Amino acid sequence: MLNFLMLVHGHQPVGNFDKVIEEAYAKSYQPFIEVLKRHPGIKLAIHFSGNLLEWFRDKHPEYITTLRGLVKDGQIEVFSGGFYEPILTLVPENDAREQIAMLSSVVEKTFSYRPMGGWIAERVWEPKLPQILAGAGLHYGVIDDTHFSITSKDLQKGKSAGGEIDDLTGYYLTEEGGKGFAVFPGSEKLRYYMPFKLPQETINYFKGRMYRQEDVTISFGDDIEKFGLWPGTHQWVYKENWLENFFRALEENNSWLGMMTFKEYFTTHKPTARVYLSCLSYREMQTWSLGFYRNFMIKYPEANNMHKKMLYLSNKVRAEESEVKRKSEDIENAKQEVFMSQANDAYWHGVFGGLYLYHLRSAIYQHMVEAEKLLDKVSNVKKAAEVEVIDFDLDGKKEIMVNTESLNLCFRPEEGATLSGLDYKPKSCNLIDTLNRKPEAYHLKLKQLLEEKRTKYAQSGNQPASIHDIWEVKGEGLDKLLFYDRFPRYCSLEHFINSDSSFEDFLRCRYFENGDFAEGAYQYRVKEKGKEAEIAFERNGLVASQAVNLSKTFNTRGTDLAGMYSVGNLDKEKSLDSIFGIEFNLSVFDADLAGKREIGAINSVEINDSWHNLKINFSWDKKANLWVFPVETISDSESGIEKTYQELCCFFWWRINLAAKEKWQNYFQLTIK
């Protein structure tokens, strides 16, 4: 007898557009369940993240009613998991358990069903997961069969690997800290078969497994969106009846092929063996992350900044919670905002946009700023500005965190004294939610593809290709936009560049950096002045082997940031002749400034940001030249390679010619309203 255990998982990122979720509902969530209803002999498990269940409740309550009926009839088992789909090992353990408890409670309240199984986001496995999952009351989960490296049987046989994947069956027990948890090996082969091959090929695979083992249990766990939402699948799965035919094929072979829920199997069958699993995810994620999910925090400093800010705020919430020693609505709401900022989608990049999608990053920061505002109410931050000097991102370098009634700022004194975070609290946004242009493995493939004048991955027959095989280029000339940034896309980066450098040289990062200030370490002093704060930086460095002093001071004034830049020629004999420029990168969109523009001799410029519906004004004491251009990345997505607008770069520059020991100063003000 062969038992087939099937789990489908549905999730939408926090901050995703409502029209995108509605499309997913129409193309995947709703038709999948409609087909399932017509096949009462099919049993399966389903998992929806908490925010998606809330969306169903608000937008399509009839869908909840249908699911409730299928659960009551025993046709569907409901899995729990982290409410907002965090990578459970990358958030504080208390947060992870509370998120699981939240979703389990909603499932129980909605479906009168207490879940025993837990969905493991992106199937990212680390050894401490059993302690988290079991500690939250869950008993089992599904991960890819490729996770299994070695079992007790293999050890007895002297093997150094997990044997044949097709020998895996049932479930395996593992533990951490005395907490036991069962893992079902989900078939990677079936992930590529379903729904991309004819149903009979899956049946034939099952029969082949029966030749190897008389009694075998095969598990499957993957996204429900692949059944209708992935490119080309809606036509294939529903209009050409793949899902209908697949369920029918399972029913027609029920004399030797049985379907059970994971709960039914777990409560009636013993484990196959004990196992300890390595830090792994599914095969594609392993490729994207260079072998370990946490490597995204190395490859993408922007992801690390978000992650460490989230941890910083989670710790602040827990500290306030401990301090008040009572139930506080503001603290509970702040905790919920932190939970929403833990949604995994914006922290990584693979075939799905993830980190490269600004609206997903923006949503993460929005919830973090909302959490900070609620904590402000608890600590009554209106009375005074707060300044902390800490290594908040855990890179061995200290940052200066400034918290006022209207702004949060993060300065990096050891990295060019740059401003890497600017939270504008009235609109709950981070205006430096920026992203670098960086090399990706598929950029080489893009160049090769365009050189060969191919724009579409070759497909055979009418069946849709897996999303991992689709390769389409969305737009002309994308290979001409593949230039990469040398410095982080922060604010207040000071550059000394050759006098003959052009706008295009700067845009394409082809200019020569004459100074060592953009990444150098600065001395600093901090002064708190009631509701305001003053941060001053200074560094002695070199410009083309010539000694130069650079200082800059920032003062917070309500929603304004004001200050002064000073360049001093320290040489006793030589003059200093250079272009001196200050780079500001802001995650804003102004239709009038969205193209490349050179503007000369201005004292001020105003940015009309349509993303956040605000205005940002730069003003200078000495007239500046301005190079302004959009920073656009070339990234992979489920529909192909595409150009994506990320932020606006404003490079203010002056030609300075300083005699020996001469000093140049310029006062500025940045106003947000």
The DSSP bridge partners found for residue 537 are 524, 552
SS3 283: helix
Helices (H), 341-430: 358-379
Are 564 and 553 in contact by the 8 Å Cβ rule? The answer is yes
Residues comprising the chain, all counted: 673
- The phi and psi torsions of 629 (rounded to 5 degrees) equal -160, 155
**Tokens matching residue 623:** 């007239």
Whole-angstrom Cα distance, residue 353 to residue 373?
29
Could you give the C-alpha distances from 103 to 18, 133, 142, 226, 596, in angstroms and in order? Answer: 21, 13, 17, 23, 47
Q: Which of 77, 95, 98, 122 is catalytic?
A: 122
Whole-angstrom Cα distance, residue 13 to residue 230?
16
Whole-angstrom Cα distance, residue 378 to residue 380?
6
Whole-angstrom Cα distance, residue 134 to residue 80?
12
**DSSP assignment string, 24-40:** HIIIIIHHHHHHHHT-T
Residues 6+ apart with CB under 8 A from 86: 95, 96, 99, 121, 339, 342, 343, 344
Q: Which of 93, 188, 223, 662 is catalytic?
A: 223
Strand ranges, E, within 532-639: 532-543, 546-557, 560-569, 576-586, 597-609, 614-637
Nearest to 314 by CA among 372, 237, 238: 372
Chain centre to alpha carbon of residue 669: 33
Residues 6+ apart with CB under 8 A from 279: 125, 126, 127, 292, 293
Is 223 labeled as catalytic in the residue annotation? yes
| Residue 380: how many other CB atoms lie within 10 Å | 8
Whole-angstrom Cα distance, residue 553 to residue 555?
7
- Which residues are annotated as catalytic? 122, 223
